[in-house]
Amino acid sequence: MKISIVGAGAMGSLFGGLLAESGNEVTLIDVNDAHIGAVRTQGLRLATDGGERQVTALKALRPEDAVGFPDLLLVFTKTLHTSAALSGVGHLIGPDVHVLSLQNGLGNVEKIAGFVPPERVLIGVTTWPADMVGPGHVQSHGKGVVRLMAADGIERPFVSQVAEVLTKAGLDCTSDRTVWAAIWEKVAFNAALNSICAVSGCTVDELGKVPDGSRLANDVVTEVLSVAMRMGIDVDPAKCWGNVANAIARHRGHKPSMLQDVLAGRRTEVESINGAVVALAGPLNIKLPVTETLLSLVRLAETRANA
């Protein structure tokens, strides 16, 4: 399959590297010149449980240098950059191109639907982890899965074909019509751990050192999933509280991306996580006092970091 990946940071490069290794025609597209330049000259240095190697059978380009229509355009920018990134690759979105988002948060379908008709938007969620080690160098340890579906819920051959291609690349993908529950459960998990760590400066395990950390996290999960349930999505709060407790018990020293962004003076994905849930709750008359307070505090932390 001809696959272009816009936003080729940690996740985009991991997926791109594995998809190239399994025989797809992959182009990484990014505005990070140091990273793109390193991949172009030396290949992508990819470290996974399968070992560390240089993947050279892929292209790495700035958006304006990319040409030709891919079959699949995979969006892996942070959510705050989705619209700008899709504008930058508008010339690659031909009449048959499908666009897939496996980004975190809510609102991804709506943003992509500004660029392609809804029947060509695929949405999903992934539990694969990845980190940028440096320009041209990405690592991912452990295992994950991908679940995806057509955003309009209609089963089409292309969706299964994408799932097969990802699975063949080792990414363990299923085409799954209940993906919205998984997306919301991940939003609840991230709204809890990311925003509390971002405003407190705590690592995930440090939230377990006083009862307040776990209590706040569970309150956020309860609030976020109350919105999902009101919208008719079949989420599982007990599973989500369990995942949060497990992360607090096991993720020693882990700084979630929202904390990393605040510390680095970058804007975070809070608007598509806590912000998107608060926006949906308003018209439903659901109050989310903890989630909304954390949203305000992350916004203040972003402002402080940028100053």
* Comparison of 238 and 264: residue with beta carbon closer to ligand NAD: 264
Work out which of 4, 48, 104, 226 binds ligand NAD, going by CB under 6 A.
104
Question: Residue 73 in 3-state DSSP?
Answer: strand
* Comparison of 34 and 210: residue with beta carbon closer to ligand NAD: 34
Of 75, 60, 26, 78, the residue nearest 137 (C-alpha) = 60
Least distance CB 211 / ligand NAD (angstroms): 28
Query: Which residue type, as a one-letter code, is found at position 253?
Result: G
* Stretch touching ligand NAD by CB under 6 A, among 3-11, 173-181, 244-252, 291-299: 3-11
Q: Which residues contact 42 (CB under 8 A, 6 or more apart)?
A: 54, 136
Work out which of 45, 78, 120, 255 binds ligand NAD, going by CB under 6 A.
78
Contact between 291 and ligand NAD per CB under 6 A: no
239 is catalytic: no
**C-alpha distance from residue 136 to each of 46, 47, 77 (Å):** 8, 11, 16
150 close to 159: Cβ distance less than 8 angstroms: yes
Active-site residue, selected from the candidate residues 2, 111, 143, 186 = 186
Contacts with ligand NAD, 32-61, as mask; x by CB under 6 A: x-----------------------------
Strand order in the sheet with 98-101: 59-61, 25-29, 2-6, 72-75, 98-101, 121-126, 146-150, 173-175
**Binding interface with ligand NAD (CB under 6 A):** 6-12, 29-32, 63, 76-79, 81, 84-85, 88, 103-104, 126, 129-130, 132, 269
